[in-house]
Amino acid sequence: MKKLINDPKDVVAQSVEGFADAHADIVRAEFDPTFVVRVDAPVSGKVGIVSGGGSGHEPLHAGFVGFGMLDAAVPGPVFTSPTPDPILAATKAVDAGAGVLHIVKNYTGDVLNFETAADLAEADGIETESVVIDDDVAVQDSLFTAGRRGVAGTVLVEKIAGASAQRGDSLAQVADMARRVNANVRTMGVALTPCVVPHAGEPSFELADDEIEIGIGIHGEPGREKIALESADRIVDRLLEPILADLRIEKGDNALLLVNGMGGTPLIELYIVYRHAAKVLADRGVTVSRKHVGNVTTSLEMQGASISVLKLDSEFVELWDAPVQTAGLRWGR
């Protein structure tokens, strides 16, 4: 294992420290328990939004804390759910009386711990709503999941629900917006290499020198199949096929196309993936009117990528375009 780290047990704390220091204009970090919160939280009158989960997917989630997106993020240990305690603390820190939305990727530990934290927050008089993200079409159930996994589509939910909260929508409206995005986004990924969890020190799974895994999870959970390496275009076809079949997107529809890097794949490759994915959509008569290419939901240093397609309506477009000021996404203000 070769990583730019100190003691494996300090990875999350030291990375969060560095993150909060580098982005002190946007966030601050708390460490007992650990969470990252907007520097101006709680924002008077605004619904708060908290997300979180195991670390190792940076910039998800802390990189999306800031104006127009999340109010707080709760980073657990690498690939391990945070406990209810920091989730509750983050929920309290962002509550301004308008209620708090939890955006939770669909993994058993995350769902359970966010539920417990929500119950405790409610007992403290904080109104909460929870939206569980399950955009990954690769597999129905998985190692850590009942039902589909939540992956890179989460970022689109966080951006659009975040803009909904920022413009002053109610908790019910923001939660409904998040659910609508989740219902309209589908994702599938591919791994070229495994990744190494620092405290494990070993690759999370094995791939031969000429082998890739189609439908990989963001923790290295098994996908659909291991196959021999193919051309980027053919791999993109394999990822888009189930996405488009499941999403039932049609000629004349508008889409947001997200090409997400898994952490170890360089931009030069992600744009080759984007190029063909955009062509496939155009060939189907779908207009790619919004797009994003970059590392937004990673799996440590894994080489690979995922493709997400969000069926757009005019409200999604307006909220996607709305100003955002976070470490990971920044525009329009």
The stretch near its own copies (CB under 8 A) out of 44-52, 154-162, 164-172, 267-275 is 267-275
Q: Is 233 in the site for its own copies (CB under 8 A)?
A: yes
Output the CA–CA distances (angstroms, integers) from residue 98 to 42, 124, 128, 315, in the order listed.
Answer: 10, 14, 9, 22
Residues 6+ apart with CB under 8 A from 88: 117, 120, 121
Phi and psi of 64, rounded to 5°? -115, 20
Tokens of 197: 């969890």
Q: Are 191 and 226 in contact (CB under 8 A)?
A: no
Given the complex with its own copies, which of 104 and 235 has the nearer CB atom?
Answer: 235
Quote the CA–CA distance of 133 and 152 in Å, as a whole number: 10
Question: CA Rg, the chain, in Å?
Answer: 19
**Interacting residue with its own copies among 34, 51, 55, 145 (CB under 8 A):** 55
Q: Is 61 a catalytic residue?
A: no
Phi and psi of 63, rounded to 5°? -65, -10
Q: What count of other Cβ atoms lies within 10 Å of the Cβ of residue 254?
A: 17
Given the complex with its own copies, which of 14 and 140 has the nearer CB atom?
Answer: 14
Using CB under 8 A as the binding criterion, the count of chain residues that bind its own copies stands at 60
What ranges make up the beta strands (E) of the chain?
27-31, 34-38, 48-55, 72-78, 100-105, 128-133, 185-191, 211-214, 225-228, 254-261, 287-294, 304-312, 324-325, 330-331
Structure-token match 């907007």, residue found: 38
Site mask for its own copies (CB under 8 A), range 124-163, x = bound: ----------------------------------------
Given the complex with its own copies, which of 179 and 330 has the nearer CB atom?
Answer: 330
Given the complex with its own copies, which of 224 and 291 has the nearer CB atom?
Answer: 291
Q: Are 297 and 265 in contact (CB under 8 A)?
A: no
| Residues within window 69-98 making contact with its own copies, judged by CB under 8 A | 78
Site mask for its own copies (CB under 8 A), range 1-40, x = bound: -xxxxxx---xx-xxxxxx-xx------------------
Q: Is 57 a catalytic residue?
A: yes
Given the complex with its own copies, which of 1 and 172 has the nearer CB atom?
Answer: 1
Quote the CA–CA distance of 158 and 72 in Å, as a whole number: 11
Residue 216: exposed, middle, or buried by beta-carbon count in 10 A (0-12, 13-18, 19+)?
A: buried
**Interacting residue with its own copies among 32, 125, 248, 268 (CB under 8 A):** 268
Given the complex with its own copies, which of 179 and 224 has the nearer CB atom?
Answer: 224
The stretch near its own copies (CB under 8 A) out of 87-95, 107-115, 213-221, 299-307 is 299-307
Q: Is 59 in the site for its own copies (CB under 8 A)?
A: yes
Catalytic residue among 23, 61, 102, 219: 219
Catalytic residue among 23, 57, 276, 292: 57
Task: Please name every residue paired with 194 in a beta bridge, in sequence order, or none if there are none.
Answer: none
Given the complex with its own copies, which of 119 and 318 has the nearer CB atom?
Answer: 318
Q: Is 272 in the site for its own copies (CB under 8 A)?
A: yes
Task: Indicate the SS3 state at residue 178.
Answer: helix
Site mask for its own copies (CB under 8 A), range 166-205, x = bound: ------------------------x-xx------------
Q: Residues interacting with its own copies, by CB under 8 A?
A: 2-7, 11-12, 14-19, 21-22, 55-56, 58-59, 63, 78, 190, 192-193, 209-210, 212, 229, 231-233, 235, 263-276, 278, 291-293, 295, 298, 300-301, 303-305, 330-331
Catalytic residue positions, numbered:
57, 219
